[in-house]
Amino acid sequence: MEILNYAFMQRALLAAALVGITAPAVGIYLVQRRQALMGDGIGHVAMTGVGLGFLLSWSPVWMATLVSVLGAVLMELIRWYGKTRGDVALAMLFYGGMAGGVMFINLAPGGSNANLTSYLFGSLSTVSESDVTAICLLAAFVVLVTLGLRRQLFAVSQDEEFARVTGLPVRALNLLTAVTAAVTVTVAMRVVGLLLVSALMVVPVAAAQQLTRSFAATFAVSVAIGVAVTLSGTVTSYYQDVPPGATIVLLTIGAFVLMTALAAPLARRRARAASAAGPAADPAECRVPATRGAADDAGV
């Protein structure tokens, strides 16, 4: 393939594939926790990190990671202790992060708002080898957390009180989820941009939920959708000369529409199958009560 003859496209495709894996892998827990817009808020805070990276002549990716992690931890603390004024504090954090990014990058030698464009909306053609190295390391961390602790994270996402009763460190797991989301935002900012990253964390999960019935299936299908749309969007942006971030997000929304269209006939088929199997099932009073945990029932 012609597209693979160029080193910058090889880096772009690798970065896109890693983002397609990590964004839905974290997004599924955010959707379960009803924090679908958390990625958008972290993206605003990460702008300050990008600006500081230019100002201090340090890697914008690593600086954005540091700042967004601190911002995510602060968001969790506000959620715990903010009470009635928590939403105001979060709003100031988000808008302050955006303003800080613009200010710092303009204070940097030779810096201007034009330098922020590739981070706001993504720019696969400018992904460097150092960016790929950072993305690979950060993506490995995200995959280890989301897969290695999937049972614990699922339990906390479903019911914090029940998880606390069972002895799980709920606050530590909540902080870990927030930190992992922050890392994912910085992984994805070079591909889809800080302003669009939240869509790639949420929409593939919502699309997968239209067809799947267990957590494990939703996880697998959402990651498959994420990889498919990021790679397809990257290839499309190369051949059609269109913005990669916008292309990927529009393809993701298209996948959601397709899954929604397929969900209705599939639901009717399942209903007919359940109705046909109904008479052969044991009466409710004769069934053996379930003994496994909620995570096992969900297919985790």
- Identify the pLDDT of residue 288: 46
The answer to whether residues 60 and 199 touch, using CB atoms and an 8 Å cutoff, is no
Does the reported pTM lie above 0.85? no
- Identify the pLDDT of residue 63: 92
* Cα–Cα dist 192/251, whole Å: 12
* Cα–Cα dist 241/239, whole Å: 6
The 3-state DSSP class for residue 291 equals: coil
The answer to whether residues 198 and 218 touch, using CB atoms and an 8 Å cutoff, is no
Residues near 159 by Cβ (< 8 Å), separated by ≥ 6? 294
- Identify the pLDDT of residue 86: 56
- Identify the pLDDT of residue 82: 65
- Identify the pLDDT of residue 18: 92
Half-sphere exposure of 300 (CA within 13 A, CB side): 21
- Identify the pLDDT of residue 295: 53
- Identify the pLDDT of residue 292: 46
Q: Using 50 as the pLDDT threshold, list the residues of the chain that sit under it.
A: 280, 284-288, 290-293
pLDDT in tens, 172-191: 998 998 899 999 988 888 78
What distances in angstroms separate CA 96 from CA 111, 137, 179, 201, one per listed residue?
19, 28, 19, 23
Q: What is the 3-state secondary structure (H, E, C) of 30-74?
A: HHHCCCCCHHHHHHHHHHHHHHHHHHCCCCHHHHHHHHHHHHHHH
pLDDT in tens, 12-44: 899 899 999 999 999 999 888 887 778 888 888
- Identify the pLDDT of residue 231: 93
